[in-house]
Structure 1
Amino acid sequence: MSFDAQAPTGPSVVIIGAGVGGLGFAIALKKQLGCHNITIYEKANDVGGTWRDNTYPGCSSDVAVHYYSLSTDLNPRWKGSHGSQPELHAYLKDLTNKHSLRDNIEFNSKFISADWDSARQSYDLVIEDVLTGVTRAASANILISAVGVLAIPKYPTTLPGLSTFKGNAFHSARWDHTVDFRGKRVAVIGNGCSACQFVPRISVDPSVQLVNFVRSPAWMFPETATPYSECSKWIFAHVPGVMRLYRNTLMAMYDSRYLLFVSTWARRKFTEFLKRFMLDAAPAEIHDKIIPNYELGSKRLIVERGDGYLASFRRPNVNMNSDGIAEVTENGILTQKGEHMPFDVIIYATGFDTDKFSYPVRGLKGQSMEEFYDSQGGPTAYLGTTFPGFPNFYALTGPNTCNGHTSVIFLEECQISYCLQLIKPVVQGLASSFAIKMKPTLAYDSWVQRRLSCSLFTQCFSWYRREGSKKISTIFPGPLTLFWWLTRSPQWEHYEVEGGEKWEKQRRMARISRAVGCISLIVFSNWALSPREMIPNTLSRFGTQLLKFPRVPLGTFFQGFA
């Protein structure tokens, strides 16, 4: 006789996206809260998010991989200091199997919309099957957005003639592996992190004629990716504490880079170092095109490894063009100086769209997230995680959470830890929903914008700022240590709670318990430190005073806390 597995019970949790954030959140829900009523909607047919989608040649992490991984699942078997895309994707698939998450994931399921129902204290969801196009309804008491900030490729849509090009054209985040680059004329538009990783790889073939169109140069930082020896891997795996200590050392090292944003002296010295490095690495004919005219730190710092991006321009088949693009034609690109350059392939390395929310979400009174953003002059959230008017809705890497100097994965872990404290009473049935109030949200956003207003990030436009706005809506104004401190515990008075009578009672009793414990500790400490001959007299006086105290039935005393 066979028995069906018991269906998960209790409030339902829906996570949008099976990338590192979504998987990390699900793992934390299972391990820390014992919550198993979890559904992860993933539009693709596999887990991995960014590390599944970005498959361009040379794709790897900018941050050392022992820090660019979950703190709950350290891996002693990394091949080297920086993880490659295949290795990171394999790590996420291993996590999925290790924590039995595949049963919680619905693949090929695109999240369409969510609408809050106050009466039922849940979100009404619409999900689309990407294979058939059929939509279905679902619901969630708790909704987690884990789509990531780098999920939607951004194309230069304002560029005339974009759709007229008859050759192969694709975004670097959606790499077309069917294209054979041998003997082709290739245009790469953009010089961000992705371009700096794949340009050296595809141009190593001398038959490929590559031109990189650069609108503005970027500061580049030399960092060596070193392989780990078998001895190092053995130590990481078998010597207790070594891998954790190494990770913590990396955390401190990366967060110390925030000094570049706040110390004029450190920034000046580091700028001089970077200038020397960049001019030494690049050929003389492009020296006038590679040094930025903005201060170090106001845009993202690009990592340059070994004989990488700058050194690739020493190859006779690689050139840089900074004339600007007037339009895309049927068979090439027309520059703003009137030169027409023929191409067979155009690769858009133009980043991601970080301004808009990825899907429609409506909260209290039917207000959408986009309408809320517009009312605040740009993306706004409390601690980049919760939004006023959207109960039980939490976002990873929300507004003003990103940083340009350290690990975004640890940042997401800080957010997950914070959210779990808000989710726990709902999962336990002690409350129905939590929603951040408007006043603390505006106060927090004012603090963020005030700190950013006197920072380097105001000196130029970048993806850190909302397009067409002066509001800086992406970057966090401080080191990651500060964000960890702010998210270590919720300030409960900042939240509106529905159906939380049991939770409030539990909190009152916890406060009483702590107070009794503190008083007991003080009395015991006083007794332990008092001369022994004073103890009988002290107890005698205490007993006399106790007899004078009005007698109150014990039930009456606790009645006020019921």
Structure 2
Amino acid sequence: MASSKSNHRIAIIGAGFGGLGFAIWLKRQWGFEDFVIIERASDIGGTWRDNTYPGCSSDVPIHWYSLSTDLKPDWSASYGFQPEIQNYMLGLVAKYDLRSYCVFDTSVVSADWDAAAQVYHIATEDTQTGDRREITATIVISATGILSEPCTPGLKDAQVFKGTTFHSATWRHDVPLEGKRVAVIGNGCSATQFVPLIAKDPSVTVTQFCRTPMWYMKRDKPLYSEATKWIFSHLPIVMRLHRYLIAARLDLNYAFMYFYGGIIGKLMRRNMTNYVKRTAPSKYHDLVIPKYPPGCKRLIIDTGYLTALHQPNLNLTGDGIEKFDETGIITQKGEHIPFDVIIYATGFTTNRFPYTIRGSSGQTMNEYWDSQGGPTAYLGSTVPGFPNFFMIQGPNTTTGHASVIFTQEVQFDYALKLFKPILSGELTSLEPTQSATTAYNSHIQDRLATSVWSKCASWYRNGPDGKIHSSFPGPVIWYWWLLRRPQWRDYLTKRGDKAQPVKRGVRALAWIVRLAVAVVLGAAGRAWLGSGVQGVLRRPFFVRT
């Protein structure tokens, strides 16, 4: 088994969609098997293994939230639920025999670049026994994801509370909620999925602490009929066309995020406001209708949450939390509310790298990010000073409107093209130049500064008003265009024993096509979106030819 070895050409860290998907790409496209998947948990799945709270589901239509290589005709609903998604991933593992490449219950302590040997020394620790082991690899693929480290706010005297507390990402199924007084801290995507379900039991009294209102969208077509699943199964082309139509429709939604000041942004805000007013109790309108424009924070697919607010056993409060005591929570207004169970639905830490990795200069990733004002990478994938290192779903690769699985697949294709010269022996290492990284990030930050994400505090940012490090400022088809092939002039390379000139060049036709598209889109944008878009149109898409 590959996992019994200590030396590998490629080490993949994380066995979620990103890690498993990249392994599948290696096997399908190259027939490559000299890799190891390091996973700190006892099984595959990543966020879909860990998040088992009631009602956990995707907020992107499931036929676009799955691998293009492995479409599934019998998804039960338009939006996949956690057990079904996890089973889908287990099926991928079985189909591609990936379990034999996995090292489970193993956390990465550190990864250090050895310039002399041109490899990474990866220190790992067995999470069950504490035993240490070193793995060496020529290439490191970090696929730990951005929703892997639960964030629990440092509320005053939280440790004093004598009841039960847990985070929604580590749901305590052994804790019965029947007849209990339950506090839910947070009102993001996870909370709005599980709160309606736990509040169905009238014996459960739920008080939800809402710090900031969120925007809600009605869930469309929740279930697939048996006839539809039969058609998808017997006419795969129809299923693939369905996927393409979902992708096209959702990717056009970037206009709502980016041109929020124009006509379509105003229409979106009006429609979503009207939906909330029709669905939620009027007494809560001030707590559930935001002042900021839609898209600034993650949009929430409403799965019955707003309707559940009519239930007498569910109370929504905007009072801040002053501190905990032994029996409950004291609000900033001085009110004491007793609780038996407190559930944190407070999201994840997204602005710190989860393990210590040192590059060619000895600088760690977090030190480099600090020097840049927040998470930074070239094309969201590679980082200056970290040779042969690649991040799946790195900085500025999520969108808020599209599928992260699609952007991950774009990265898979790019990584194979990028590292092919290393595995063939033409190169021993490569890393992006600081100048190329600065140019790329300056451009996307310039675009993000005029986008909807600049209008509020969110987990997309490094602090309340800091760098926007998570969002990609455009349609994902543009991201595909940028990563369709490596620009070797943007990389520092070290030649190997089998060195050949690395293919370079510029295609003039690509410039012409891109310019034509920009002119058409610009003219249409001015005509359709109005004056609110003019400041945006002065910032063209980043050019990659």
Query: Same fold by TM (over 0.5)?
Result: yes
The 1:6–1:266 alpha-carbon spacing in structure 2 relative to 1, beyond 3 Å, is: closer
Q: 1:20 offset after TM fit, Å? A: 0.6
Q: 1:501 offset after TM fit, Å? A: 6.5
Alignment correspondent of 2:254: 258
Q: 1:262 offset after TM fit, Å? A: 2.8
The 1:503–1:249 alpha-carbon spacing in structure 2 relative to 1, beyond 3 Å, is: farther
* Alpha-carbon separation, structure 1, partners of 2:371 and 2:502: 37
Greater alpha carbon shift after TM alignment, 113-122 vs 270-279: 270-279
1:39 is matched with which residue: 36, 50, 74? Answer: 36
Alignment correspondent of 2:10: 13
Can you give the 5+ residue segments of structure 1 that lack an aligned partner in the other structure? Answer: 515-562
Greater alpha carbon shift after TM alignment, 450-459 vs 343-352: 450-459
Preserved CA contact (<8 Å) 2:181 2:339: yes
- Please tell me whether residue 72 in structure 1 is matched to residue 63 in structure 2: no
* Alpha-carbon separation, structure 2, partners of 1:43 and 1:5: 17
* Alpha-carbon separation, structure 1, partners of 2:7 and 2:415: 18
Alignment correspondent of 2:481: 485
Greater alpha carbon shift after TM alignment, 493-502 vs 381-390: 493-502
* Alpha-carbon separation, structure 1, partners of 2:398 and 2:448: 13
Task: Kindly report which structure 2 residues correspond to 1:305-454, keeping only aligned pairs within 5 A, or say none.
Answer: 305=303, 308-454=304-450
Instruction: Name the SS for the 2:250 alignment partner.
Output: helix
Alignment correspondent of 1:92: 89
Can you give the 5+ residue segments of structure 2 that lack an aligned partner in the other structure? Answer: 508-545
Instruction: Name the SS for the 2:397 alignment partner.
Output: coil
Alignment correspondent of 2:26: 29
Preserved CA contact (<8 Å) 2:106 2:127: yes
- Please tell me whether residue 179 in structure 1 is matched to residue 175 in structure 2: yes
Instruction: Name the SS for the 1:381 alignment partner.
Output: coil
* Alpha-carbon separation, structure 2, partners of 1:460 and 1:238: 47
Instruction: Name the SS for the 2:100 alignment partner.
Output: helix
1:457 is matched with which residue: 422, 434, 453? Answer: 453
Instruction: Name the SS for the 1:35 alignment partner.
Output: coil
Counterpart residue type for residue 287 of structure 1: H
Counterpart residue type for residue 288 of structure 1: D
Q: 1:430 offset after TM fit, Å? A: 2.2
Aligned residue pairs: how many?
504
Cα RMSD between the aligned structures? 1.9
* Alpha-carbon separation, structure 1, partners of 2:15 and 2:271: 40
Instruction: Name the SS for the 1:46 alignment partner.
Output: coil
The 1:507–1:181 alpha-carbon spacing in structure 2 relative to 1, beyond 3 Å, is: same
Q: 1:8 offset after TM fit, Å? A: 9.1
The 1:283–1:507 alpha-carbon spacing in structure 2 relative to 1, beyond 3 Å, is: closer
Alignment correspondent of 2:273: 275
Q: 1:231 offset after TM fit, Å? A: 2.0
Q: 1:296 offset after TM fit, Å? A: 1.4
1:295 is matched with which residue: 293, 296, 307? Answer: 293
CA deviation profile, 1:319-371 (whole Å, cap 9, x unmatched): 10101111121111111111000000000000000010010000012111111
Alignment correspondent of 1:542: none
* Alpha-carbon separation, structure 2, partners of 1:97 and 1:6: 16
Q: 1:204 offset after TM fit, Å? A: 0.1
2:228 is matched with which residue: 197, 219, 232? Answer: 232
2:282 is matched with which residue: 262, 281, 284? Answer: 284
Preserved CA contact (<8 Å) 2:457 2:464: no
Alignment correspondent of 1:521: none
Q: 1:35 offset after TM fit, Å? A: 1.3
Alignment correspondent of 1:211: 207
Identity of aligned residues (%): 50
Counterpart residue type for residue 341 of structure 2: V
Counterpart residue type for residue 376 of structure 1: Q
Greater alpha carbon shift after TM alignment, 466-475 vs 415-424: 466-475
CA deviation profile, 1:499-554 (whole Å, cap 9, x unmatched): 2474434748xx9xx9xxxxxxxxxxxxxxxxxxxxxxxxxxxxxxxxxxxxxxxx
Alignment correspondent of 1:161: 157
The 1:507–1:279 alpha-carbon spacing in structure 2 relative to 1, beyond 3 Å, is: closer
Q: 1:7 offset after TM fit, Å? A: 9.6
Greater alpha carbon shift after TM alignment, 411-420 vs 7-16: 7-16
* Alpha-carbon separation, structure 1, partners of 2:256 and 2:497: 48
Preserved CA contact (<8 Å) 1:11 1:427: no
The 1:458–1:386 alpha-carbon spacing in structure 2 relative to 1, beyond 3 Å, is: same
Instruction: Name the SS for the 1:234 alignment partner.
Output: helix
* Alpha-carbon separation, structure 1, partners of 2:373 and 2:6: 41
Counterpart residue type for residue 284 of structure 1: S
* Alpha-carbon separation, structure 1, partners of 2:403 and 2:60: 6
2:242 is matched with which residue: 239, 246, 268? Answer: 246
Counterpart residue type for residue 17 of structure 1: G
Alignment correspondent of 1:529: none
* Alpha-carbon separation, structure 2, partners of 1:29 and 1:188: 43
Higher-Rg member (1/2): 1
* Alpha-carbon separation, structure 2, partners of 1:139 and 1:469: 40
Q: 1:468 offset after TM fit, Å? A: 5.9
* Alpha-carbon separation, structure 2, partners of 1:55 and 1:88: 11
Greater alpha carbon shift after TM alignment, 448-457 vs 138-147: 448-457
TM-score under structure 2 length normalisation: 0.90
- Please tell me whether residue 304 in structure 1 is matched to residue 291 in structure 2: no
Alignment correspondent of 2:541: none
CA deviation profile, 1:159-205 (whole Å, cap 9, x unmatched): 21111111110000010001100000000000000000000000000
Alignment correspondent of 2:526: none
Counterpart residue type for residue 230 of structure 1: E
The 1:187–1:225 alpha-carbon spacing in structure 2 relative to 1, beyond 3 Å, is: farther
Q: 1:229 offset after TM fit, Å? A: 2.1
Preserved CA contact (<8 Å) 1:112 1:359: yes
Instruction: Name the SS for the 2:15 alignment partner.
Output: coil
Greater alpha carbon shift after TM alignment, 38-47 vs 237-246: 237-246
* Alpha-carbon separation, structure 2, partners of 1:141 and 1:170: 39
Q: 1:241 offset after TM fit, Å? A: 1.3
Counterpart residue type for residue 276 of structure 1: N
Instruction: Name the SS for the 1:12 alignment partner.
Output: strand
Instruction: Name the SS for the 1:211 alignment partner.
Output: strand
* Alpha-carbon separation, structure 1, partners of 2:236 and 2:179: 53
CA deviation profile, 1:248-296 (whole Å, cap 9, x unmatched): 1000011111111233211111111111110111112212221101111
* Alpha-carbon separation, structure 1, partners of 2:161 and 2:286: 30
Counterpart residue type for residue 21 of structure 2: G
Instruction: Name the SS for the 1:23 alignment partner.
Output: helix
* Alpha-carbon separation, structure 1, partners of 2:250 and 2:499: 39
Alignment correspondent of 2:511: none
